[in-house]
Chains A and B, each alone.
Chain A
């Protein structure tokens, strides 16, 4: 036995009874915060939308605000544009970020460092600045139009104030997080297994499909559920770049609460948004649990 192992009296994972309370204490703080700041307000909101005063002033079980939401075509349009935006953003993010992550995983040198810096850059740009930069560049008579005009090309149909405006902004905003998570996942792909596959004659597509993809499917799921959760409830970009109607749930909730002065309606929208986010969240929890089991 070597010197080092002799000294390591205490194992890394300590299951001794006496040490448990300290571990639980560390966990207690985040658990308490989550209960106080997330779970309690959520339960509160749900109960206040289903258990409230009716016209005669009696407290009672009342699902009318939900019935209104799901029978109101205006609200449903807003819900469907939110789902559409989230879906399109998720697909675009995967299409853009996976090649970047693959490139960064398998290249060395200065150029790769620049690409990585560029891919992480959006993380440091506040979305309100991004929105105004977007208007100046892609907006009507913006920089792109001016450049096109200089070489006698026709004007573009600007995405500003259309559903594509928030999509472009949100995708750009979410690139860093997605790339970082995918890159972390690609770290678990061993060079030896790729070399072994190449040795038996697999081409690039086969290597990707049979070797890389199975190993990073978990990371893809995590990356997507993270960005989808953010996009679903995003506010600034759809507010500044999107159309007046249909609007995404973020601006819709804020407007219902402040401008329409309808707190119950806003809470109902929030609970419905929460419901969708739970579904996305379950994917994340499941994939984390699955990778823990391994």
Chain B
């Protein structure tokens, strides 16, 4: 992976060497599914979750679900 530029990720799949594209994916946790758009590799389907997302929104969602 390389860095990002602005809001549009300028990311390349390390395995396939292809630029990632924003695609609809489903994030699931503890039985709840969230349709979101995240950078994906068009070749192998790898989904990129930034550190900011993992330790921000996504963590809050996980904690809220664990708390239920």
- Are A and B bound to each other? no
Interfacial residues, chain B to chain A (CB-CB below 8 A): none
